[in-house]
Amino acid sequence: MEYTELADYPLPAGTVTEWTPSAVDSDWTDDERRLSYAHLEHARRALEVGEDWYSQWIGTAFRIAHRLDADALRTTLIRWFARHEAFRSTVVPQPVSAETGIEDEFGRRIIAAESVSIAVARDDHSSSSSAVYERINELFNTTITPLQWPHCRVLTVEPDDTTDSFLVIFGADHTVMDAYTQVFAIKELTKLYESALLGHDDALATFGSYLDFSHAERASGARLDAETVEVTRWADFLRSHTPSQPDPMPAFPRPLPEPEPEAGHADPIPHVGSVPSTFQGSLSTWLLDAEQTQRFHSTCKALGANMQAGIYTALSITTHRLSGSGELRFISPVHTRTELQWGEAAGWFVGLIPVHLKPGVASTFSEAIGPVAECAREYKDLGTVPFHPIADLVGHQTPPQLVVSYIDLRAAEGADQWEAIDARVLRSACAQSDEVYFWINRFATGTNLSTRFPSGHPGANDVHRFLRTFTDVLLEVVENADTTYDAPALSSVDVQSRGSTS
């Protein structure tokens, strides 16, 4: 399993079918539940961008190991939309008015489950792999938006070389889906399809509605003011600058000048030129294989910490080696599925927490992991407090610039089958910006890092240099059960043991 752009997924040549949810206009009804803060902000941005809205979606691709039966898949998708009210909701512009008490520029409309149908359009010919990619990518890029329903689109590909399985690819707007939804849907759609095809019970639990969660979140956010403790703690974080991260909202740390490579030791990562690009750079790399991951985890556990603390400590060491300081500030997304009813509901259940890693006087990995683990817990309770009203209260509108996510997905139901069914969570290419995102995920097969970053010089070079050093640090810990903040004079890590990139 990896988290990549669609361009990095090996799509087969085959016959494409579009499965488009549809509904009659008169079946839509107004709903008084308010949009979540993130949903409202996303809709506002889409309205501001207008016709230039393009390539902003997330999704998943995976194979279902049965023949494609049109009736069964149509039933599957109808039931999928019925299970998740978020898929049957959209926004509508509305006038803000003090007299009526309407505060949001967008209201909500919903449609009943029985009012959704699926329009099926199957090609009468096979397409090449590249043509399949262009077809799916452009459809998702141009039709998925928070302002136009349906907010989730589905396609299938029947491969030319087999009739025993078919590929499912769905893309959705972030307002109805998060990373957990992307993952849960693999199992859910497979079980729904097998139920429809084979006639047995799907054995799926039911969950609550993201619309109810969103409305409750707005009520929670309304209680905040400038003196609320959660607001003051965020304000304190935004004031805690470091030399390599001088901005209130932390950006990618400014590196020291890169030394010239020693004779006979050429830089393994070529420098990126300054040719402008419309989109950010994107990379997926396996940092550690399964055996290396287990050794790294065992080292962290022996030191009284978990693997997340170990990853964060390695990031701190990397920052020290490149910028001269082991302090590192970033934003971390966390799920807000704090109640059982939200467990596997489709929606954007994501909060933000600030993280400020301060290793203190530690000079080694083993000395730092304890303090770093404490730092990782410092703001953890802020994840369920919506950030958007806090940003308004502290007068800070800069979106997150450096984001780090660590998730252990080994226990997810069906994870042991992901490799066999070519499962992958997807994200669209992102418009060029200075933002840097690191998604670090642990799977049974190892530890993977997916990243997006500025695609031109010097941003791309700085990120590649950071990742090269980060990988060195991880492998040093794997090899020696410890490492130092200062780079070893001669690394004991064999360059050939690095993870491969894709």
* Sequence-ordered list of residues with C-beta below 8 angstroms from that of 97, at least 6 positions apart, any chain: none
Tell the burial category of 288 from Cβ atoms under 10 Å away from its Cβ (0-12, 13-18, 19+): buried
Do both 143 and 248 map to the same domain? no
For position 370, which CATH number holds? 3.30.559.30
In angstroms, rounded to a whole number, what is the distance separating the alpha carbons of residues 96 and 118?
Answer: 35
196, 218, 240 - which closes a domain: 218
Query: Does residue 492 register a pLDDT over 50?
Result: no
Full DSSP string of 329-362 = EEEEEEE---SGGGTT--S--EEEEEEEE--TT-
Report pLDDT for 261.
61
Do both 333 and 458 map to the same domain? yes
User: Tens of pLDDT along 330-372?
Assistant: 999 999 999 999 999 999 999 999 999 999 999 999 999 999 9
Token pair 């941005």: residue: 45
Please tell me the total count of domains within the chain.
2
Do both 64 and 16 map to the same domain? yes
Report pLDDT for 313.
98
Report pLDDT for 234.
97
Nearest 10 degrees: Cα torsion 474, 480, 486, 487 = -70
Do both 187 and 309 map to the same domain? no
Query: Does residue 266 register a pLDDT over 60?
Result: no
The answer to which of 175-189, 263-277, 393-407 has the lowest mean pLDDT is 263-277
User: Tens of pLDDT along 21-31?
Assistant: 999 999 999 99
Report pLDDT for 493.
47
User: Tens of pLDDT along 107-153?
Assistant: 999 999 999 999 999 999 999 999 999 999 999 999 999 999 999 99
Domain holding 460, by residue range, is 227-252+279-337+347-412+428-497
Do both 177 and 309 map to the same domain? no
Query: Does residue 176 register a pLDDT over 60?
Result: yes
Do both 364 and 458 map to the same domain? yes
Nearest 10 degrees: Cα torsion 284, 439, 237, 323 = -30
Nearest 10 degrees: Cα torsion 252, 386, 151, 199 = 110
Do both 240 and 112 map to the same domain? no
Contact (CB, 8 A) for 156 and 17: yes
What value does the mean pLDDT take over residues 382-399?
Answer: 94
Residue among 180, 186, 116 at smallest CA distance from 351: 180
Token digits of residue 370: 């304890």
Q: Reduced to 3 DSSP states, what percent helix, strand and coil does the chain have, rounded to the nearest 5?
A: 40, 25, 40
Report pLDDT for 40.
97
SS3 state of residue 137: helix
SS3 state of residue 286: strand
What value does the mean pLDDT take over residues 314-324?
Answer: 97
User: Tens of pLDDT along 222-257?
Assistant: 999 999 999 999 999 999 988 899 999 999 999 988
Do both 464 and 483 map to the same domain? yes
- CA end-to-end distance (rounded Å), the chain: 12
The residue ranking higher by pLDDT, 122 or 497, is 122
DSSP annotation of 145: B
**Residue at 264 is within a domain:** no
User: Tens of pLDDT along 152-171?
Assistant: 999 999 999 999 999 999 99
For residue 140, the tally of other CB atoms under 10 A from its CB is 24
φ, ψ for residue 30, nearest 5 deg: -70, 150
Beta pairing class for 402-408 and 350-357: unpaired
